[in-house]
Amino acid sequence: MMLRLNRLAVLVAVPLLSALPASAAPFANRAACLARAEQLPDFAYEEARLWEKQGGGLDARLCQGVALLLRADWRPAAETLESVIGQMDKEPAELRGNLWGRIGLAWQKAKEPARAEKAYDQALTLLPGDAQLRMDRAYLRAEQERWWEVIQDLDLVIKARPKQAEPFIMRAEAHRKLALSGEARADIDQALTLQPESADALLLRGNLRADAGDYAGAKADWTKVQQVAKTESSAARSAVDNLNALMLMEAKGKSEAKETR
């Protein structure tokens, strides 16, 4: 079980809009093009291509890259944004760092982990205190099962965001993968203190209880997941699978016990 934030629109739109200077027609400025990209990325992409032909330059290319990102054309988005950011040395570090983070996300979605890692590293060089960028890199590293590095990133995220449950859940999973059950249980207990009805936290606590042989406790957690999670969520599906596996195990145990009598 691994979480992934669905935060693409928020990532793309907000910081870039406030930080960018005005540009030429057909858009009044770069921010207007980015706003258009957020609302209608397909139209914005074509309009930004026309803008580039009419002298929109770097602004138009940036808008194209953001539009590609918002319509989930991951590789073209990453390539376009990388070509743009190389010409943005004079832009504020916050803008460039956020943009590198978007490039990292695009390469990650395009199944290019090495390029994604490089982009996240660039982002964190510019914005070393940005907890969300570090969280995003932790997700990338988790996909590669680099659990110690995941924990290193999450330690800093938790220091910056001690009241958020998600990094505790993710670190608990990393600890579990490393067979550090005590650390995993401490993290998941903290996550549930912060967010008592987190389906992901309850699912993971159930898994930890099952690992320890506490099947009654595991069953209680997985049953509660079904109550608090959306039916089609990954947590709900995993809880159902776990409960079914537990029922089969219990039935097998009863059958074997009868045979030995």
Name which of 78-87, 106-115, 227-236 the model is least confident about.
Answer: 227-236
Q: Which CATH class is domain 1-144?
A: mainly alpha
Nearest-10 crossing angle of helices 234-259, 215-228: 150
For residue 1, is pLDDT > 60? no
Of 107, 176, 106, 97, nearest to 134 by C-alpha is 97
User: 12 or 257: whose pLDDT is higher?
Assistant: 257
H or E, element range at 222: helix 215-228
pLDDT number for residue 54: 86
pLDDT number for residue 24: 45
How many H-runs (helices) and E-runs (strands) does the chain carry? 14, 0
For residue 7, is pLDDT > 60? no
If you ran DSSP here, which 8-state letter would residue 28 be given? S
For residue 14, is pLDDT > 70? no
pLDDT number for residue 258: 62
Q: pTM of the predicted model, to two decimals?
A: 0.84
Predicted confidence band of residue 15 (pLDDT cuts 50, 70, 90): very low
Dihedral sign computed on CA atoms, order 70, 45, 95, 79 = positive
Predicted confidence band of residue 121 (pLDDT cuts 50, 70, 90): very high
Instruction: Quick: pLDDT tens for 130-161.
Output: 999 999 999 999 999 999 999 999 999 999 99
Whole-angstrom Cα distance, residue 188 to residue 182?
A: 10
